[in-house]
Amino acid sequence: MTNSTSAASARVGSGLRIGVLALQGDFREHLRAAEATGAEAVGIRRPKELDGLDGLIIPGGESTAIDKLARAFELAEPLRERIAEGLPVYGSCAGMILLASDIADPATDLSGAPQQTFGGLDMTVRRNAFGRQRDSFETDLEFKGLDFSAGEEGVPPVHAVFIRGPWVERVGSDVEVLAQVEPAEPEHASHAAPLPGTARIVAVRSGRLLATSFHPEVTGEKRVHELFIRMIRGEA
């Protein structure tokens, strides 16, 4: 099930300039999703391109590759500074990993140094927690904060696609859990020490930072991006 963009949703981002980190991953899909809200969407590859943004999206892809390329393009430190200063950011899949303060199982480079994150969200994530590419799956999620999309039968669930997605193992006191994959789904997980019967956190927010384990940009689900726009405007 997808959620088409209503006339009101297509205007909610009007007047906003939303950057999408365009170093690696499915940034094109996020550019289109941001444009669907009525916002101006621009790809970000250089530090100077961060100027004048109302918000930033960090796409899915390879978190290790995005980390290395961000450092190579001298974007990593400016991103950390902008996030710390309050730049609204939405991270999807790899973007969730890059917004985390801690990674439970960080990749290491040839020297043994662990991958780095931009930080911002006080949480611990585990990479590829639901398994490899062949373990990708779809499910419907109850997702907090989408009251603006309520109909006569309430708020429709979010149809989520998980592709080598992370999950959140710890959240700080200022991080709100928005969605979880319930215990029936972790049979998809291939982690060596799963926690049977435990719901897995797959969407969180803190202030104007938002992160999801899944990819709303690939299903036609527009409401997560609209939620991010409403967070920027102070409406959510």
Q: Are 172 and 122 in contact (CB under 8 A)?
A: yes
Beta-sheet pairing, 17-21 with 55-58: parallel
Give me the catalytic one of 30, 93, 169, 221: 93
Q: Which of 169, 217, 221, 226 is catalytic?
A: 217
Choosing from 169, 215, 225, 226, the catalytic residue is 215
Cα angle 121, 127, 133; round to 5: 135
215 part of the active site: yes
Q: What is the CA radius of gyration of the chain?
A: 17
DSSP-assigned beta bridge partners for residue 114:
108
Indicate which residues carry an active-site annotation.
93, 215, 217
